[in-house]
Amino acid sequence: MELVLYGHPESGHAIKVALALDLAGIPYQAVWVDIWAEPSSRPAEFLAASPFAEVPLLLIDGQPFVQSGAILLEISTRFGVLGGETAKGLRRGRELLMWEANRIGMCLPQLRYAAMTGNQGYPQGTLQWLRHRYTTDSASFERLIGDHPYFHGVSPGIGDCAIWGYVQFIEEAGVQATPTMQAWIDRMRTLDGMKAPVAFFPSGQ
Ligand SMILES: N[C@@H](CCC(=O)N[C@@H](CS)C(=O)NCC(=O)O)C(=O)O
């Protein structure tokens, strides 16, 4: 089976998938795509398979998979890993993925992008609204992880990979990690398979 993952080190969405493959020990070829360049300049095979010209795009034996959460579910169910080993683990993964996409994976990338661009293009009040959402999301983070080391319990699953996507960039988003969140970040960084963003998608590869 041949897996090819298109991504970029600035894309938390792409890193979610790269991390899942590395944690599960599934070999893949990483292909760097310039997400800041004009979309039409991206590789032809990428444009043909990614409907919005977005990363991540995962090709499994040439079959395209898009949308980070959907790709994580594909990996988890197809290979029986990261929660996909049991019905309960998969249900937990689905719930975490939906929460991440609607909540913490919405406000953090927006806050980070606003900080990167000097808040340009964000109407007045937007950042206040996003920070307010983050206050709620960080409290939900605490409730979801509870006393467990990972969101899936004693070992990480697709939910941890999804939440890692943008929580790893929390300082760039200009908000503070809670102590529980910081402990989880520190724990995640020690995992076999964890890498710095540029190591997941080395530029020009
Ligand atoms: N909902 C998508 C979001 C993907 C996304 O926003 N990708 C961004 C990078 S983080 C991208 O490829 N941007 C390039 C562009 O829009 O031209 C997912 O979860 O995969």
CATH classification of the domain holding 69: 3.40.30.10
Residue 60 phi/psi, 5-degree rounding, is -110, 110
- In angstroms, what is the span from residue 106 Cα to ligand 1's centroid? 12
pLDDT at 121: 87
Based on its alpha-carbon atoms, the radius of gyration of the chain, rounded to whole angstroms, reads: 17
- In angstroms, what is the span from residue 11 Cα to ligand 1's centroid? 7
Looking at the structure, do residues 104 and 140 belong to the same domain, yes or no? Answer: yes
What is the domain range of residue 18?
3-81+193-200
Give me the number of domains the chain comprises: 2
Looking at the structure, do residues 45 and 98 belong to the same domain, yes or no? Answer: no
Looking at the structure, do residues 95 and 155 belong to the same domain, yes or no? Answer: yes
Over its length of 205 residues, how does the chain's per-residue pLDDT go in tens digits? 999 999 999 999 999 999 999 999 999 999 999 999 999 999 999 999 999 999 999 999 999 999 999 999 999 999 999 999 999 999 999 999 999 999 999 999 999 999 999 988 899 999 999 999 999 999 999 999 999 999 999 999 999 999 999 999 999 999 999 999 999 999 999 999 999 999 999 986 4
Looking at the structure, do residues 67 and 7 belong to the same domain, yes or no? Answer: yes
Residue 205 falls inside a structural domain: no
Mutation choice for ligand 1 from 6, 10, 13, 68, CB with most ligand atoms inside 8 A? 13
Contacts of 29 (CB under 8 A, 6+ apart): 2, 3, 4, 5
Q: Is the CB of 197 under 6 A from ligand 1?
A: no
Looking at the structure, do residues 33 and 126 belong to the same domain, yes or no? Answer: no
pLDDT at 77: 98
At 154, which CATH number?
1.20.1050.10
Looking at the structure, do residues 73 and 101 belong to the same domain, yes or no? Answer: no
Q: Is the CB of 35 under 6 A from ligand 1?
A: yes
Q: Is the CB of 67 under 6 A from ligand 1?
A: yes
